[in-house]
């Protein structure tokens, strides 16, 4: 043991292997985050870049630090718009995740129980949408959901709607939910499938043998054993949905309040970079909690 | 450490009693998977409190037969009766059978305690009764101190005990054991075999065990059904299966045996010894054989002559001339098993006959060794004529 320890310490390649990912994380995660954090402490200004102070060198560094403050964060707590946007994002993410679980679980279960020969085909069908650009798929939903869109035509054709009636869900929260559930479904199905597929089928036979009918066995055996997959799938969906921008922007209406959209408005609409940065920092902090839970869960599983 | 033993075992043979009602009856059972016939028009009776083995090589249909009794598979034809009641269409969770799975199939997310309690909870027993029964079962399999462990924290032998306790907890009418001891090492397996017999005897249950291990079947069973390709070849007690196999297949499957192809030369009923059956005379490539056995074979029939190695005497000295049951050859190989030595003797015509000798003395250098010219003899009642 001692010998391998000594040799690995003297081997510079070993350090390189460790250093590369850390350097990567530093360059593309930590450094940008600190820049954003710094901007969030600044004030807006009519300038290029549109905030002050900017870092002009070490000579004026005392001045530079004196001008930084937490005013933007204070403003976020005072204006209910931002708190509502955060809460609304969490609500939409929560409901979407629940819908994803309700739709994804039966799909994953059906895939796991399907004959081994057709499982790769089913898997392919889940992954296939990734071959088309995400943006194009969301745009396609506009064509389906808009009042004169395909859904209206279909409903009119089969007589659910009269010739003058239209489906009016485009630019509402419903359209956002449809878009989110559609886009994130593979991310829910795949971890669930992975958890369900490796389950030993004889466990269900054993349960049945001991007097447990199949519907009860699902809740007593299958579901508890798939819990790691449920948690993984839920977090993989919940976290990005909370910060989702494209789907609410394209499918949502004026009343769809999501933090990603608010951030975009602050940044591009109001050119208030410091406030937008503060929103981003808080969004990250709000998501750290579920991310930590997720990682702990992964550790337990591994 | 004194081991508590159950009551002394009594002779048990309800199958010889024509008035006895079978507990389980497989009636003309056929099971097909596509074109493959796993079980072929099989009829079998098992009696209450019997320890019954289904023995055969893998793929002989023994597991399929057991799974049909448990309800995991439905027969393609025929029916299974339990205490006279047809089990067709009864789902596994409504059958009074419990199974101990080959893989144990313990629920990994539950403690030992919860695993054992699982079946009892399904019956909706009061909590206190469940706790009492779980404790009783843990005591039975000597795992009291492991109640709160998860299956992953147990050794193979302990898991096997939990599986047994779980399958016994509901006091099933019939306990099905699917290769229950396959994963255990030899010593533990032998110990567990005797424990199983003890538990079966104490609780008075009917056990049906599936195994490919003939020694295991011989040790634990009241009766054994030897199966091959979906058919039952013979159903009999271990002693009958061993001493009086009804076919070359059964003789060869159970234990070690010499089988010589012979032609019947005489079956006129001449009695060589008083009080014994008349002798059948056989000729096997120059070798004269006489067997005291009542069998319906005619002169000229081709039959098999089977004799177990331990019944063949090996000697360096030429025996008294009788004109039959004497072979002459050279020791070709020796298998030293500790308690026994098996001699492979190459006869003058090139055939190999096996003779086993108990090693009754502590000599390391055996008097008979490789290359020795030896004589093999066997008594008139040692061998068996096999017509199938």
What does the pLDDT read at residue A75?
A: 87
Q: How far is CA A285 from CA A33, A239, B62, B163, in A?
A: 12, 12, 61, 48
Number of structural domains found in chain B: 2
- Determine which of A198, A209, A214 to mutate to test the interface with B (most B C-beta atoms within 10 Å): A209
Interval A110-124 mean pLDDT: 92
Residue A220 CB: number of other CB atoms within 10 A?
18
- CATH at residue B328: 2.40.50.140
Task: Write out chain A residues lying below 8 Å of B170, CB-based.
Answer: 210-211
For residue B306, what pLDDT band results from cuts at 50, 70 and 90? confident
B10 within some domain: no
Using one digit for the tens of pLDDT, what is the confidence trace for A37-71?
A: 988 888 887 777 888 777 777 777 777 777 788 88
Chain A residues whose C-beta is within 8 A of a chain B C-beta are 200, 202-203, 205-213, 216, 220-221, 224-225
**Residues B285 and B324 both lie in one domain:** yes
**Residues B260 and B154 both lie in one domain:** no
CA distance B374 to B355: 11
Q: Which of A48, A168, A121, A206 is nearest to B108 (CA)?
A: A206
Residue A202 has its nearest CB partner, among B71, B105, B118, at B105
For every residue of chain A, which 3-state class applies, written as one string?
A: CHHHHHHHHHCHHHHHHHHHHHHHHHHHHHHHHHHHHHHHCCEECCCCCCEECCCCCHHHHHHHHHHCCCHHHHHHHHCHHHHHHHHHHHHHHHHHHHHHHHHHHHHHHHHHHCCCCCHHHHHHHHHHHHHCCHHHHHHHHHHHHCCCCHHHHHHHHCCCCCCCCCCCCCCCHHHHHHHHHHHHHHHHHHHHHHHHHCCCHHHHHHHHHCCCCHHHHHHHHHHHHHHHHHHHHHHHHHHHHHCCCHHHHHHCCCCCCCHHHHHHHHHHHCCCHHHHHHHHHHHHHHHHHHHHHHHHHHHHHC
Using one digit for the tens of pLDDT, what is the confidence trace for B156-213?
A: 888 888 998 999 888 888 999 988 877 677 787 888 888 888 888 888 888 999 988 8
Residue A202 has its nearest CB partner, among B92, B101, B166, at B101
**ipTM of the complex in this document:** 0.78
For residue A7, what pLDDT band results from cuts at 50, 70 and 90? low
- With beta carbons less than 8 A apart as the criterion, state whether A283 and A259 touch: yes
Comparing B129 with B204, the larger pLDDT belongs to: B129
**Residues B261 and B244 both lie in one domain:** no
Comparing A177 with B87, the larger pLDDT belongs to: A177
Interval A297-301 mean pLDDT: 66
**Residues B25 and B120 both lie in one domain:** yes
Last residue of a domain, one of B234, B249, B264: B249
B309 lies in which domain range? 256-386
Using one digit for the tens of pLDDT, what is the confidence trace for B372-382?
A: 888 888 888 88
**Residues B217 and B312 both lie in one domain:** no
B114 within some domain: yes
What b/e string do you get for B306-332 counting C-beta neighbours within 10 Å, with b at 16 or more?
A: bbbbbbbbbeeeeeeeeebbbbebebe
- Determine which of B66, B120, B122 to mutate to test the interface with A (most A C-beta atoms within 10 Å): B122
**Residues B131 and B167 both lie in one domain:** yes
Using one digit for the tens of pLDDT, what is the confidence trace for A142-200?
A: 999 988 889 988 998 888 888 888 888 888 889 999 999 999 999 999 999 999 998 88
CA distance B212 to chain A (A): 20
Contact A208 B99 (CB under 8 A): no
B118 within some domain: yes
CA distance B353 to B365: 22
Task: Write out chain A residues lying below 8 Å of B106, CB-based.
Answer: 206
Residue B93 has its nearest CB partner, among A200, A213, A221, at A213
B46 within some domain: yes
**Residues B149 and B208 both lie in one domain:** yes
Last residue of a domain, one of B249, B268, B284: B249
**Residues B63 and B196 both lie in one domain:** yes
**Residues B60 and B155 both lie in one domain:** yes
Using one digit for the tens of pLDDT, what is the confidence trace for B20-78?
A: 788 888 888 888 888 888 888 888 888 888 889 999 888 888 888 899 999 998 888 88
CA distance B212 to A63: 87
CA distance B197 to A162: 77
**Residues B266 and B308 both lie in one domain:** yes
- Of A132-136, B16-20, B57-61, the least confident: B16-20
Sheet containing strand B352-358, strands side by side: B313-315, B373-377, B326-336, B340-347, B352-358
Chain B residue with Cα closest to A201: B105
Residue A212 has its nearest CB partner, among B103, B105, B122, at B122
- CATH at residue B176: 3.40.50.300
What does the pLDDT read at residue A121?
A: 94
Residue A221 has its nearest CB partner, among B92, B107, B166, at B107
Residue A53, preceding bond cis, omega within 30 degrees? yes
- Determine which of B67, B73, B109, B130 to mutate to test the interface with A (most A C-beta atoms within 10 Å): B109
Using one digit for the tens of pLDDT, what is the confidence trace for B226-239?
A: 988 888 889 988 88
Q: Which of A216, A219, A228, A222 is nearest to A202 (CA)?
A: A222
Using one digit for the tens of pLDDT, what is the confidence trace for A192-237?
A: 999 999 888 899 999 999 989 999 999 999 999 999 899 889 988 9
**Residues B56 and B155 both lie in one domain:** yes
Tell me: pLDDT of B270 over 80: no
CA distance A76 to A230: 34
Tell me: pLDDT of A3 over 50: no
Q: Which CATH number fits domain A79-301: 1.10.3720.10, 1.10.1060.10, 2.60.40.10, 3.65.10.10?
A: 1.10.3720.10
What does the pLDDT read at residue B347?
A: 84
- Under DSSP, the state recorded for B56 is -
Task: Write out chain A residues lying below 8 Å of B91, CB-based.
Answer: 208, 213
- With beta carbons less than 8 A apart as the criterion, state whether B78 and B25 touch: no
CA distance B343 to B309: 9
Rounded to the nearest integer, the mean pLDDT of chain A is 86
CA distance B67 to chain A (A): 10
Tell me: pLDDT of B1 over 50: no
Contact B122 A202 (CB under 8 A): no
Last residue of a domain, one of B222, B249, B276: B249
Q: Which of B247, B171, B178 is nearest to B202 (CA)?
A: B171
CA distance B388 to B380: 21
What does the pLDDT read at residue A102?
A: 96
Q: How far apart are the first and last CA of chain A?
A: 25
């Amino acid at each position: 043991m001692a010998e391998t320890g000594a040799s690995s310490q003297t081997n510079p390649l070993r350090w390189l292997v460790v250093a590369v990912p850390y350097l990567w994380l530093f360059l593309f995660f930590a450094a940008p985050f600190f820049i954003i954090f710094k901007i969030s402490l600044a004030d807006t200004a009519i300038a290029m870049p549109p905030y002050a102070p900017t870092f002009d060198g070490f000579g004026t560094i005392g001045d530079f630090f004196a001008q930084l403050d937490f005013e933007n964060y204070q403003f976020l707590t005072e204006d209910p718009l931002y708190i509502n946007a955060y809460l609304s994002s969490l609500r939409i993410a929560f409901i979407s995740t629940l819908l994803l679980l309700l739709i994804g679980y039966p799909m994953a279960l059906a895939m796991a129980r399907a004959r081994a020969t057709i499982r790769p085909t089913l898997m392919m069908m889940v992954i296939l949408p990734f071959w088309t650009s995400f943006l194009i798929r969301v745009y396609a939903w506009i064509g389906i959901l808009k009042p004169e869109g395909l859904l209206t035509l279909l409903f009119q054709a089969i007589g659910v709607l009269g010739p003058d009636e239209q489906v009016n869900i485009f630019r509402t929260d419903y359209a956002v939910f449809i878009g989110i559930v559609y886009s994130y479904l593979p991310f829910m199905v795949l971890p669930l499938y992975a958890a369900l597929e490796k389950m030993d089928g004889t466990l269900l036979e054993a349960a049945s043998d001991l007097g447990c009918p199949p519907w009860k066995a699902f809740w007593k055996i299958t579901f508890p054993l798939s819990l790691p997959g449920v948690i993984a799938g839920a977090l993989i969906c919940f976290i990005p949905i909370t910060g989702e921008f494209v789907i609410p922007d394209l499918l949502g209406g004026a009343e769809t309040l999501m933090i990603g959209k608010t951030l975009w408005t602050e940044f591009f609409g109001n050119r208030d970079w410091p406030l937008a940065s503060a929103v981003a920092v808080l969004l990250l902090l709000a998501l750290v909690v579920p991310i930590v839970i997720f990682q702990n869960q992964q550790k337990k599983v591994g | 450490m004194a081991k508590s033993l159950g009551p002394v075992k009594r002779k048990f043979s309800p199958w010889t009693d024509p008035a006895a009602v079978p507990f389980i009856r497989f009636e003309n059972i056929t099971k097909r998977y596509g074109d493959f016939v796993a079980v072929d028009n099989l009829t079998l009776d098992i009696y209450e409190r019997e320890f019954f083995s289904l023995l055969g090589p893998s793929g002989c249909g023994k597991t399929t037969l057991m799974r049909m009794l448990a309800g995991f598979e439905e027969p393609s034809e025929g029916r299974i009766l339990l205490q006279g009641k047809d089990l067709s269409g009864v789902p596994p969770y409504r059958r009074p059978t419990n199974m101990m799975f080959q893989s144990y199939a313990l629920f990994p997310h539950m403690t030992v305690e919860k695993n054992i309690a699982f079946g009892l909870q399904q019956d909706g027993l009061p909590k206190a009764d469940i706790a009492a029964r779980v404790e009783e079962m843990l005591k039975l399999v000597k795992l009291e101190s492991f109640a709160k462990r998860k299956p992953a924290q147990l050794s193979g032998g302990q898991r096997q005990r939990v599986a047994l306790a779980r399958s016994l907890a509901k006091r099933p009418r019939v306990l099905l054991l699917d290769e229950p001891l396959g994963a255990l090492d030899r010593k533990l397996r032998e110990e567990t075999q005797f424990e199983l017999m003890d538990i079966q005897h104490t609780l008075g249950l009917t056990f049906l065990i599936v195994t490919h291990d003939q020694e295991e079947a011989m040790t634990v069973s009241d009766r054994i059904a030897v199966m091959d390709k979906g058919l039952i070849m013979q159903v009999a007690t271990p002693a009958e299966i061993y001493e009086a196999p009804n076919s070359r297949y059964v003789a060869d499957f159970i234990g070690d045996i010499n089988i010589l192809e012979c032609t019947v030369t005489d079956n006129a009923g001449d009695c060589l010894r008083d009080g014994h059956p008349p002798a059948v005379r056989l000729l096997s490539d120059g070798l004269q054989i006489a067997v005291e056995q009542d069998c319906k074979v005619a002169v000229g029939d081709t039959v098999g002559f089977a004799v177990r190695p331990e019944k063949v005497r090996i000697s360096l000295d030429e025996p008294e001339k009788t004109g039959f049951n004497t072979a002459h050859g050279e020791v070709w190989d020796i298998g030293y098993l500790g308690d026994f030595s098996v001699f492979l003797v190459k006869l003058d015509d090139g055939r190999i006959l096996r003779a086993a000798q108990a090693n009754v003395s502590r000599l390391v250098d055996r008097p008979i060794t490789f290359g020795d010219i030896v004589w093999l003899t066997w008594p008139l009642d040692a061998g068996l004529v096999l017509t199938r």
